[in-house]
């Protein structure tokens, strides 16, 4: 798994170096702190209420992230079948929100693996790449303190038409996360960004809805094609196994 993913990481890094974005990274204060996660309390409570009515399986793959993950809820189980998926995206979230709520919508499921999509909103909210990486490390530490063997797959920050002026900063986030994942065999960086760019290195129009930010079905096909082979190679062998006590 690491060989495949590392190759993708290196390809993304070098392609990023050779494809400068069309606009400068303007209007972003790199010193901005994260907003309070409490704004998502009701959304998390809805997940918890659903869990009480129908407890999710233990030892599955939890998929957490912002709206790009949230809007994948409808098809992600089919797209990644036969893997057992617990979708837990909540729109507007960032890496710090994922960290804050991991105790309630990730760890209770004793996940054998986690897929994370964060960083998109972080950059848009003015959080620096270094702070995003620091928060990612805290998320990893929290997970591995409870489940040392849990594998974590970080999806690259996607390019979008609406946030194209921020793409250079998003590329830096991707480089930092890819480098971090290369240090630990339990971590993997999955490049969903390259397939969303055309030959000129710009976002492909039909992958986005009218808001130029969220993805169409075609966009999720790109994500599926990038993530599914990685998960199948690493996770299918564990599908019938119960989580360790």
Note down pLDDT in tens along the chain; length 245 residues: 544 444 444 444 434 433 433 333 333 444 588 999 999 999 999 999 999 999 999 999 999 999 999 999 999 999 999 999 999 999 999 999 999 999 999 999 999 999 999 999 999 999 999 999 999 999 999 999 999 999 999 999 999 999 999 999 999 999 999 999 999 999 999 999 999 999 999 999 999 999 999 999 999 999 999 999 999 999 999 997 645 44
Which parts of 105-213 are beta strand (E)?
113-117, 151-155, 187-190
* Planar angle of CA 133, 135, 137, nearest 5 degrees: 70
Report the predicted TM-score, pTM, of the whole model to 2 decimal places: 0.87
Q: Can you say how many angstroms the Cα of residue 91 is from the centroid of all Cα atoms in its chain?
A: 12
User: Does the domain at residues 2-16+59-238 carry the CATH identifier 3.40.640.10?
Assistant: no
Q: What is the pLDDT of residue 32?
A: 80
- What are the sequence ranges of the domains in the chain? 2-16+59-238
Q: How many CA atoms lie within 13 A of 37 on its CB side?
A: 15
Residue with token string 């119960």: 242
Residue 1's pLDDT is what? Answer: 53
CA distance 180 to 87: 24
Question: 85-89 and 113-117 as β-strands: parallel, antiparallel, unpaired?
Answer: unpaired
Distance (Å, rounded) from C-alpha 182 to C-alpha 47? Answer: 32
């Amino acid at each position: 798994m690491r060989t495949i993913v590392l190759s993708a990481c290196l390809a993304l890094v070098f392609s990023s170096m050779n494809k400068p974005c069309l606009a400068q990274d303007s209007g972003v204060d790199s010193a901005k702190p994260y907003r309070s996660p409490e704004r998502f309390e009701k959304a998390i409570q809805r997940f918890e209420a659903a869990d009480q009515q129908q407890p999710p399986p233990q030892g599955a793959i939890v998929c957490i992230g912002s709206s790009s993950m949230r809007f994948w809820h409808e098809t992600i189980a089919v797209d990644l079948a036969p893997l057992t998926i617990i979708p837990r995206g909540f729109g507007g979230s960032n890496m710090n929100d994922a960290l804050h709520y991991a105790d309630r919508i990730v760890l209770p499921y004793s996940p054998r693996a986690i897929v994370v999509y964060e960083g998109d909103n972080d950059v848009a909210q003015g959080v620096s790449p270094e702070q995003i990486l620091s928060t990612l490390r805290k998320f990893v530490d929290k997970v591995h303190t409870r489940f040392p063997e849990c594998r974590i797959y970080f999806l690259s920050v996607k390019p979008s038409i609406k946030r194209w002026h921020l793409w250079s900063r998003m590329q830096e986030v991707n480089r930092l996360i890819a480098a971090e994942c290369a240090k630990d065999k339990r971590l993997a960086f999955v490049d969903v960004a390259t397939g969303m760019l055309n030959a000129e290195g710009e976002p492909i129009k039909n992958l986005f809805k009218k808001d130029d930010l969220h993805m169409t079905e075609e966009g999720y096909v790109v994500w599926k094609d990038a993530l599914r082979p990685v998960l199948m190679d690493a996770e299918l062998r564990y599908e019938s196994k119960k989580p360790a006590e």
